[in-house]
Structure 1
Amino acid sequence: MAQIKVESVAKTFGTFAAVKGVNFTVDHGSFLVILGPSGCGKTTTLRMIAGLELPSSGRILLDGEDVTALPASARDISFVFQLFALYPHMNVRQNIGFPLRCQNYARAEIRRSVEETAKLLRIDHLLERRIGGLSGGDRQRVALGRAIVRRPKAFLMDEPLGALDSEFRRLMCGELRELHDRIDATTIYITHDQLEAMAMADRIVIMNQGRVEQIGTPQEIYDRPNTMFVADFIGAPPMSFLGVQTSLRRGDRSIRIDAAAVEMPELFENRAEGKFALGVRPENVSFADSSPLRGRVIGAEYLGTTQIVTVDTAHGRVKARLPSGQAVRVGEQVGLALRPDRLSLFDAISGQALSSALHTGGVRG
């Protein structure tokens, strides 16, 4: 396996810039997920790493070697697509062994490698079966087997679970991560599903409109969003925002919202009069009769042991994750208490984070 470095990589199609100066490093043996909405540039980025597209500018390094101009066949990388692309006229054994036959491996070596791979994926009992008779999950395992049978330096996966139903996708998430760990793989995985990303990734790259918005561990991305886009994209439900028009000074630890002085993490620089957004996750909101920050309950969603309650305030809607046993009536007026050590303050115009108790080293931007 190997380290992958993407350095200032950009891709344009005519006048359209699909990828705009992307930088990130995937360490040996790590599982990196590129996450973002449709059209954000994540698949184009993956195709450039694979050698299926040439960058308009920038460099791609595989294990220290500049492979930017090399074709896909020269990169020692395996690609797993969302559509399984299996050969229907071949059985499982023949599909898995196909890459080795193309490289003129000896028959005995092919047989041994295919059987080891099939056992690893728990499909060794299906080796003589035709592809047409397999379930979607088994077909996905065959596609993975064909990718890993020759043990390439890295695996690139473009939404490989997208064609499966939701219950089986959750099961395969765990199996994919377990497989990655067992074979000491270096993996880049593309998805638009944040639950997949949070469940599997060592680190997540969040892309938006061709740019990288943030790179970090799942917990860093969730707890310390660098931008309002990240805060709104990650989380189910996502972060709520309260709009504020005010001026702030370096060192401030509270912000006034009407009659309420809401505690917040320390601000790292002076800010002139402007529009700001105070962000809070649902689990960091509770009801408090004494709070001057007031709102009206407009809905509640039952989720078993918890409920998501939506409160309409003069500065925006706030969602609170509360115990399902807590009595809530639609239409009632409630006071909101926000946990100060879990708030984030954003510039509402640029969307950049200005302060968070979990941020270190000053303003992020």
Structure 2
Amino acid sequence: MAEIKVETVAKTFGTFAAVKGVTFTIDHGSFFVILGPSGCGKTTTLRMIAGLELPTAGRILLDGEDVTALPASARDIAFVFQLFALYPHMNVRQNIGFPLRCQNYARAEIRESVEEAARLLRIDHLLERRVGGLSGGDRQRVALGRAIVRRPKAFLMDEPLGALDSEFRRLMCGELRELHDRIDATTVYITHDQLEAMAMADRIAVMNQGRVEQIGTPQEIYDRPSSMFVADFIGAPPMSFLGVHASLQRGDRSITVDGVPIEMPEVYEDRAEGKFALGVRPENVSFADASLLRGRVIGAEYLGTTQIVTVITANGQVKARLPSGKAVRVGESVGLALRPDRLSLFDAMSGQALPSALYAGGHHG
């Protein structure tokens, strides 16, 4: 398969800048997810990799070859859309084999390739069926079969599970990842669903307003978000933020929240007095009667084995993931303990994470 390099790629439509100098490398055989909200530029970026849009600036390399100006037909890339785009007058076999027929493959080779793809996707029993009568999940498998049948250098998928219900989506997430591993593919996958991204990706690029906010493994992005946007976009529920007014010096290991010193990872640079945000994931919050950091319970959401409890403090709301058996009353005053080595600190004005011991692995930015 192929390595894909995107180098300072930009795309403007008139005066609107859809993509603003995006750079990343997708390794051979990697499952790379571009994640972000609607309108962030992720689909435009994918379409430029595919050759369906030409960049306004920058370069795109496929296996070391500059393909920036090449049309989609010359890039040896397969595209899977959210809407299946199948041919309703053809059966499953004809739909999957269509790309090979267009390239004048021999009939025997087409038959062999189609049946191999169908076996991989577990739809070999449907080959003679018309696509119109298939379920959404099976139609998506047919669309995938048409993409993989000619074994391209890379697969580009634009929210391919978006039209499926939630149960089918979860099932297809696992199947897509398993398929990717079996055929040793290079896959670029677009989604706005962070649970999909976390479940499937080797690496994730989080986009916002035409720019890449952060690139990393799912674990890196979850544990060490480089900005408040990433921290808020990733996680269910997302990271909570406590507003703090303080000055910081290199080497500080605590910050004062509502008059209470809170331990945190060592900061790596001086910061003049200003507004900061202390970020904490729900699983790193616990109740501690003796704690001086206090708040009032304003809600609890039961999730089976756990519950998400929302606490309002003088510096903002905090969500805590607690065992479901823990008795919680709305309105009660509680003490909060925050796990020190898992706290992120952000500049409240820029939204960027401050370099600290949490980011010492080089994943910040």
TM superposition score normalised by structure 2: 0.99
Residues 362 and 59 (structure 1), Cα distance of their counterparts in 2 relative to 1, 3 Å cut: closer
Q: What is residue 134 of structure 2 aligned with on the other side? A: 134
2:297 maps to 1:297: yes
Q: What is residue 91 of structure 1 aligned with on the other side? A: 91
Q: What is residue 331 of structure 1 aligned with on the other side? A: 331
Q: What is residue 316 of structure 1 aligned with on the other side? A: 316
CA drift of 1:224 comes to 0.3
Query: How many Å separate the matches in 2 of 1:70 and 1:330?
Result: 61
Q: Which amino acid aligns with 2:317?
A: R
On the 8 A contact 2:285/2:321 being kept in 1, the answer is: yes
Q: How does 1:191-230 map to 2 (within 5 A)?
A: 191-230=191-230
Q: Which runs of 4+ in 1 moved over 6 A?
A: none
CA drift of 1:362 comes to 7.6
Query: How many Å separate the matches in 2 of 1:284 and 1:355?
Result: 20
CA drift of 1:358 comes to 2.7
2:312 maps to 1:343: no
Query: How many Å separate the matches in 2 of 1:34 and 1:192?
Result: 8
Q: What is residue 258 of structure 2 aligned with on the other side? A: 258
Q: What is residue 40 of structure 1 aligned with on the other side? A: 40
Q: What is residue 181 of structure 1 aligned with on the other side? A: 181
Q: What is residue 167 of structure 2 aligned with on the other side? A: 167
Query: How many Å separate the matches in 2 of 1:270 and 1:363?
Result: 20
Query: How many Å separate the matches in 2 of 1:282 and 1:16?
Result: 38
Query: How many Å separate the matches in 2 of 1:36 and 1:75?
Result: 26
On the 8 A contact 1:269/1:363 being kept in 2, the answer is: no
On the 8 A contact 1:29/1:187 being kept in 2, the answer is: yes
Residues 363 and 96 (structure 1), Cα distance of their counterparts in 2 relative to 1, 3 Å cut: closer
Residues 364 and 203 (structure 1), Cα distance of their counterparts in 2 relative to 1, 3 Å cut: closer
Q: Which amino acid aligns with 1:117?
A: A
CA drift of 1:356 comes to 4.4
Q: Which amino acid aligns with 2:351?
A: G
Residues 126 and 361 (structure 1), Cα distance of their counterparts in 2 relative to 1, 3 Å cut: closer
CA drift of 1:259 comes to 2.6
What SS is found at the alignment partner of 1:236? coil
What SS is found at the alignment partner of 2:359? coil
CA drift of 1:363 comes to 10
Q: What is residue 273 of structure 1 aligned with on the other side? A: 273
CA drift of 1:7 comes to 0.3
On the 8 A contact 2:268/2:356 being kept in 1, the answer is: no
Q: Which amino acid aligns with 1:242?
A: L
TM superposition score normalised by structure 1: 0.99
What SS is found at the alignment partner of 1:2? coil
* Per-residue deviation, residues 86-109 of structure 1 (Å, max 9, x unmatched): 000000000000000000000111
Q: Which amino acid aligns with 1:136?
A: G
What SS is found at the alignment partner of 2:251? coil
- Structure 1 unaligned spans of 5+: none
Query: How many Å separate the matches in 2 of 1:218 and 1:233?
Result: 13
- Structure 2 unaligned spans of 5+: none
2:82 maps to 1:76: no
Q: Percent identity?
A: 88
What SS is found at the alignment partner of 1:300? strand
Query: How many Å separate the matches in 1 of 2:132 and 2:288?
Result: 60
Query: How many Å separate the matches in 1 of 2:167 and 2:361?
Result: 41
Query: How many Å separate the matches in 1 of 2:361 and 2:183?
Result: 37
Residues 228 and 251 (structure 1), Cα distance of their counterparts in 2 relative to 1, 3 Å cut: same
With 42-51 and 256-265 compared, the bigger mean Cα shift is at 256-265
Query: How many Å separate the matches in 2 of 1:74 and 1:276?
Result: 50
CA drift of 1:246 comes to 1.1
